[in-house]
Structure 1
């Protein structure tokens, strides 16, 4: 037994030495390639690991903000083998996302994203190429256009009513509002995008949460992409592949059900009588009209992209909104006064009744400033370019715009850590990505195509939650006890679920 243990330890030691030797060789080679370039400033790097140690134990957007305070608005980090350019100022963000938008229009690669979204064939993480342009156009025209978003009004009203009734059934009790919101947003997304056929919604939610957490986790192979053997010892990769196989069963069944309905002449599967996005993709696949043909895996990538994007972003935004409102009694009182005055005497409330809720819109804007759904905007360099200051961005370098840091920079914002919706009262800032201190949906070619869908799914339900209920924290808890930190992951979700007590509001009866 001792001999076997000694042999095992010796083999492990040899493997470790071999691994370190390969990394050192790679580090020396990559450093020699960068010597002739004027890279942005950054901290001193260590052999092999580069600057990885600077991000250990910290949320990336917070750690990068702290480093930028010392090294400037454009900073170069070497994360293992991977060059990373970090942008933390309005001026540099504008330069990258306008003058060099095309050069930096790719997405970074990672094992997790590749597995979860079928070799990067979704919209969010696809490389900038003909396939991406084609599929982005299809999804906007068929699902995410302003006209289509307005047509989903009846779905939003129905699901909001279900959300309100669920909360009302637990009147005066402590509820997990985060879970309630997750169910609400996933139901809207499912019904709008996939009709009534998405029966495995809860399982997909589970896969989405688990998969995104795994895909955003630390994986050594992502930091040393030239060391192919690391992919074979990646535990995350094995877990993601196992999860993908289970996910395939659900998504294949959804596609097969749509095909069967088409074959039986049942017409469109969309809830509103028109084609849903799966009908559209199958029709285009079979017609041969697409410039870039698509496979079933491509369709599954789009399905999962629509589901995760539509659910995760809206849930994150609404969760932060309710947390900030409960944490700021002045703001929630003012918002409820506006909503209740606007809805007074109405037996039914539709989305048009929300159009004049000016303060509610300011609250939503402020929430996206201080809690952007995607704290770090990920890009990748397609071709070497020289940016302001004469700095070089190498090919394949990651380019990260710290949206979270921009929204909290005291150079652009008064009292940036405070939740003050009034700051937008006389402001021309909008969501369209033209003001680079405030780009919650990104900017340029990779601007988020789901912005209209997300905003529509936030405004109306938020107004209803404020109208129908008075909200308070659990007994013995005050606003200073609330944990307002983000979780690790791609999106800036709250670390802890939000538990609140909702008491139904009874409008005054006219005498």
Structure 2
């Protein structure tokens, strides 16, 4: 929704204020060589040119008014839009330290544990410490190996559920539930998806993601904070933030009580909630807090922030990659057949898929890369902010400038990619470009200091489930639908899902 819609009831008053502000702007300002900019309106800047899908709006503005670098003004916030691999390299490699900070957004403080999440924490010692804790104890290759049993158990559950669906399957829901269950088990030690409790948990998180991706006028035009209050947005943010904090506080307290009970009963004090004696991420965080010998200090808020970070970063983004990958396969039946033949040839009649098997599925890796190229989970990444004045590609960028990297546009650059809007996995068969942050032509997870630390976790989960579903089922669109009938429109949000859920027909494959 265009932000000006919220201002229509008070338009006469606003026009008067705009006139006062516009004609009383200070005229003395040092001369700067700033990047190209589209025309802007007083006070609101370019906000009126931003639609529901940010990456599309920025792509259009960059094409018509900017180029690799473009400066726009979102209200009072100068924002540098990055739209080429070379420009992204300048930001995330050459000047990575200058752009290592995140914006201090009031709404983020309310929703994301006072900016103690790794993804939004200010650059500094706390951020380095928190990121190290998350990588070593949740996202390292060693930890991903220990989580294998959980992934395999949840894949088996997912396969059984699909078999019970009488062929018609809502894969969008399947992927959300699967990623939720895997991440909840490795993070909290249990699932929150069954029964009344599961429904309440899902509803709370759906609203959390919706609010987190919503429009916060106060962030762009501070004196319009009253509009957020009038439309009930502030109250909703406060309520959702309170619900999330209350949930996290409850699970931490429950684990502490269980641990104390185990200590008192001679149970060793493990307190693991993972079942089967597994130690989950929350167990590890509580041990770190308790053990002074580690030299690491984390308080209760930091524990809740890291738990929330693990959950939010590992569920919605992973589910949307699976959703778009499968949608593209169904839209391109010949590609689906090539991939399915590869999976079944590599397995050669085996029922269980190992990591070694997946390593041998070269085309599967190409399919996932191509899906990430066309459908990055967060198309504009999480914004950065300049910590000091700096020159980028000959342009002057002032301290405090917000930076938005449009990886959606970068991955469609015709100077880099042949037929950039076509789904062609084979382009990666003889191509060394990867998504791990070294090749700026493909950066769905970002790069540099603020790149996503959970790439291996996410892609291991994606490849494992995708290989199993292609191995065990044949797939087609319902009611004899054709690939051209498949709706590929995007749903606005923090992460970009399909607008229409992915409904498919699954037929168990006969291995005889």
Cα pair 2:72 2:78 within 8 Å, conserved: yes
- Give the superposition deviation at 1:506: 0.5
The CA distance in 1 between the partners of 2:29 and 2:398, in whole Å, is 8
CA RMSD of aligned residues (A): 2.5
Partner of 1:4: none
CA distances 1:133-186 after superposition (whole Å, capped 9, x unpaired)? 1111101111110110011111111100111110011233x2211111111111
1:38 maps onto 2:33 in alignment: yes
Distance 1:269 1:480, change over 3 A: same
Partner of 1:112: 107
Residue of structure 1 aligned with 2:507, choices 495, 503, 507: 503
- Greater shift, 99-108 or 396-405, is seen at 99-108
SS of the residue 1:448 aligns to: coil
The CA distance in 1 between the partners of 2:328 and 2:473, in whole Å, is 16
Residue of structure 2 aligned with 1:304, choices 283, 296, 308: 308
* Residue pairs, 1:442-453, within 5 angstroms: 442-453=446-457
Which sections of structure 2, spanning at least 5 residues, go unmatched? Answer: 1-6, 264-268
Distance 1:424 1:25, change over 3 A: farther
Partner of 2:272: 269
Partner of 1:89: 84
1:218 maps onto 2:212 in alignment: no
Cα pair 1:112 1:214 within 8 Å, conserved: no
- Give the superposition deviation at 1:99: 1.6
* Residue pairs, 1:217-236, within 5 angstroms: 217-225=214-222, 229=226, 232-233=229-230, 235-236=232-233
Partner of 2:444: 440
Cα pair 1:386 1:392 within 8 Å, conserved: yes
1:203 maps onto 2:200 in alignment: yes
Residue of structure 1 aligned with 2:399, choices 395, 400, 414: 395
The CA distance in 1 between the partners of 2:111 and 2:21, in whole Å, is 28
Cα pair 2:181 2:191 within 8 Å, conserved: no
- Give the superposition deviation at 1:281: 2.1
The CA distance in 2 between the partners of 1:433 and 1:235, in whole Å, is 39
SS of the residue 2:175 aligns to: helix
- Give the superposition deviation at 1:32: 5.1
The CA distance in 2 between the partners of 1:177 and 1:429, in whole Å, is 29
SS of the residue 1:377 aligns to: coil
TM-score (norm 1): 0.90
Which sections of structure 1, spanning at least 5 residues, go unmatched? Answer: 1-11
- Greater shift, 382-391 or 212-221, is seen at 382-391
Residue of structure 1 aligned with 2:156, choices 158, 161, 168: 161
* Residue pairs, 1:196-345, within 5 angstroms: 196=190, 200-225=197-222, 229=226, 232-233=229-230, 235-264=232-261, 265=263, 266-269=269-272, 271=274, 273-288=277-292, 293-345=297-349
Distance 1:312 1:197, change over 3 A: closer
- Greater shift, 154-163 or 279-288, is seen at 279-288
CA distances 1:68-120 after superposition (whole Å, capped 9, x unpaired)? 11221100001111111000011111111112111111123434322221221
Distance 1:362 1:128, change over 3 A: same
Partner of 1:420: 424
Distance 1:202 1:131, change over 3 A: farther
SS of the residue 1:86 aligns to: strand
Distance 1:336 1:154, change over 3 A: same
Distance 1:75 1:33, change over 3 A: farther
SS of the residue 1:395 aligns to: coil
Task: Give the count of matched residue pairs.
Answer: 495
TM-score (norm 2): 0.90
The CA distance in 2 between the partners of 1:24 and 1:295, in whole Å, is 49
Distance 1:144 1:430, change over 3 A: same
CA distances 1:251-296 after superposition (whole Å, capped 9, x unpaired)? 2221011111221224141536353222222233334567774332
SS of the residue 1:61 aligns to: helix
The CA distance in 1 between the partners of 2:28 and 2:184, in whole Å, is 48
- Give the superposition deviation at 1:60: 0.9
Partner of 2:181: 187
SS of the residue 1:206 aligns to: helix
Partner of 2:266: none
Partner of 1:458: 462
